[in-house]
């Protein structure tokens, strides 16, 4: 791994916390041999925290866990627009951020993060049902309800519970590369890649069989990245017209079909760079990018680095 020390993750459970929102970061970053993280679940104080949906949580740690952590997750909680978290919680979040700790909110946890003022002037998201309430309560925050998550560097936010998985996998990808992220996705039986720019929900009703067909085509494409994949080929697999396929694909993923294919190819190249000793030319051919020159160009455009530099970054600790 790039760092000999485990990355420290604190999951901050507030009153009314939603069980799925609490469980997502605790399980994604679970303390286990295959994961380079250590997790502590905490509250405003150790002990019992009343949760939402008829559940309560017994947390072993108080706000001291925020001083220990490299990244703090703030799960969503009930009635976030009614009142701010306790001042002690806000102060602890501010102190952690000042030390360089990243703060990541899931769903309505964005309200607690916004209460610190750290989202002022920045883009952020939350569950679409609460987006207007967040904008009204914190008018300096640039609320975007049409994305799954927003990464502003030291502060990150995500939409409803399922998008919390996408945010966690995004953080894994940034910290330790595609191979570790994909390993976690397989363990969770989750989609290995959904962009933060994907819409939270499809804006109009779509027949379910068509949605399933498009998902099946994306899965098929992931197993055929080394082959020629054109809009016509993809649309034919989904048994719809290229025009319908292109329009629906953008609604579903936030990318055009060819943009999505290109990013999938770069993702596969990233994993091969991390986990194999194949040459740049060999990897380029295997992922469908043809030549090393093309792979380098796509890497620079999408990731802002070169394949060689990427390989050094994610294999230097091995």
Residue 21 predicted with pLDDT over 70 = yes
Give the SS3 label for residue 302.
Answer: helix
The CA distances from residue 311 to 222, 276, 307, in Å, are 22, 10, 6
Query: DSSP secondary structure string, 162-231?
Result: HHHHHHHHHHHHHHH-HHHHHHHHHHHT--S---TTS-SS-SS---HHHHHHHHHHHHHHHT-TTS---H
Q: What integer is the mean pLDDT of 58-77?
A: 96
- 271, 310, 286: which is closest to 184 by C-alpha? 271
In terms of pLDDT, which residue wins out, 9 or 184?
A: 9
Residue 155 predicted with pLDDT over 50 = yes
Residue 4 predicted with pLDDT over 80 = no
State the burial class of residue 318 (Cβ atoms within 10 Å of its Cβ: 0-12, 13-18, 19+): exposed
For residue 208, name the pLDDT band (cuts at 50, 70, 90): very low
Structural contact between residues 28 and 182, judged by C-beta atoms closer than 8 angstroms:
no
Is residue 112 within a helix (H) or strand (E), and if so which, with residue range? helix 109-114
Residue 116 predicted with pLDDT over 90 = yes
Strands 71-74 and 102-106 turn out to be: parallel
Q: What integer is the mean pLDDT of 161-180?
A: 86
Residue 198 predicted with pLDDT over 60 = no
State residue 316's pLDDT score: 56
Q: What integer is the mean pLDDT of 155-181?
A: 87
Give the SS3 label for residue 46.
Answer: coil
Token pair in block for residue 101 = 């700790």
Residue 141 predicted with pLDDT over 80 = yes
What rounded mean pLDDT belongs to the chain? Answer: 87
| pTM for the model | 0.69
State residue 206's pLDDT score: 41
pLDDT, tens digit (0-9, with 9 covering 90-100), for 234-254: 999 999 999 999 988 887 777
State residue 1's pLDDT score: 42
Q: Supply φ then ψ for residue 177, to 5 degrees.
A: 95, 175
Separation between Cα atoms, residue 21 and residue 259, nearest integer Å? 31
For residue 128, name the pLDDT band (cuts at 50, 70, 90): confident
Structural contact between residues 107 and 161, judged by C-beta atoms closer than 8 angstroms:
yes
In terms of pLDDT, which residue wins out, 211 or 311?
A: 311
- 119, 202, 128: which is closest to 159 by C-alpha? 128
Residue 196 predicted with pLDDT over 60 = no
State residue 204's pLDDT score: 37
State residue 285's pLDDT score: 95
Residue 152 predicted with pLDDT over 90 = yes
State residue 210's pLDDT score: 56
Residue 31 predicted with pLDDT over 90 = no
Q: What integer is the mean pLDDT of 185-197?
A: 64
State residue 194's pLDDT score: 58
Q: What integer is the mean pLDDT of 45-61?
A: 90
- 178, 174, 186: which is closest to 275 by C-alpha? 178
State residue 189's pLDDT score: 66
The strand order across the sheet containing 37-42 reads 37-42, 7-12, 71-74, 102-106, 155-158, 149-151
- The rounded percent of the chain whose pLDDT value lies above 70 is 90
Q: What integer is the mean pLDDT of 169-189?
A: 82
Q: What residues form DSSP beta bridges with 11?
A: 41, 73
Which stretch of 5-9, 149-153, 192-196, 255-259 has the lowest confidence by average pLDDT? 192-196
Residue 275 predicted with pLDDT over 50 = yes
Q: What residues form DSSP beta bridges with 105?
A: 74, 157
For residue 153, name the pLDDT band (cuts at 50, 70, 90): very high
């Amino acid at each position: 791994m790039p760092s000999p020390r485990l990355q420290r993750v604190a999951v901050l459970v507030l009153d009314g916390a939603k069980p799925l929102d609490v469980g997502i970061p605790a399980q994604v970053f679970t303390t286990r041999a295959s994961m380079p993280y250590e997790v502590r679940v905490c509250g405003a104080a150790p002990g019992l925290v009343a949760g939402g949906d008829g559940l309560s949580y017994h947390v072993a740690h108080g706000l001291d866990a925020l001083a220990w952590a490299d990244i703090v997750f703030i799960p969503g909680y009930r009635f976030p627009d009614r009142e701010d978290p306790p001042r002690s919680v806000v102060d602890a979040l501010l102190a952690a951020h000042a030390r360089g700790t990243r703060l990541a909110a899931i769903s309505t946890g964005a309200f607690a993060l916004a209460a610190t003022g750290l989202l002022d002037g920045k883009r952020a998201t939350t569950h679409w049902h609460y987006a207007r309430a967040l904008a009204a309560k914190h008018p300096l925050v640039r609320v975007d309800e049409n994305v799954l998550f927003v990464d502003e560097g030291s502060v990150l936010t995500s939409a409803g519970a399922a998008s919390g998985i996408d945010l966690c996998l995004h953080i894994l990808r940034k910290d330790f590369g595609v191979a570790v992220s994909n390993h976690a996705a397989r363990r969770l039986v989750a989609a290995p890649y959904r962009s933060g720019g994907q819409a939270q929900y499809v804006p109009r009703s779509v027949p379910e069989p068509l949605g399933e067909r498009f998902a099946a085509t994306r899965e098929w494409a992931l197993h055929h990245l080394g082959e020629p994949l054109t809009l016509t080929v993809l649309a034919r697999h989904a048994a719809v017209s290229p025009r319908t396929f292109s329009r629906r694909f953008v609604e579903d993923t936030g990318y055009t079909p060819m943009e999505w294919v290109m990013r999938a190819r770069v993702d596969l190249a990233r994993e091969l760079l991390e986990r194999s000793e194949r040459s740049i030319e060999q990897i380029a051919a295997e992922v469908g990018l043809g030549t090393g020159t093309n792979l380098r160009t796509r890497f620079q455009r999408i990731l802002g680095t070169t394949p060689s530099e990427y390989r050094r970054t994610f294999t230097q600790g091995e």
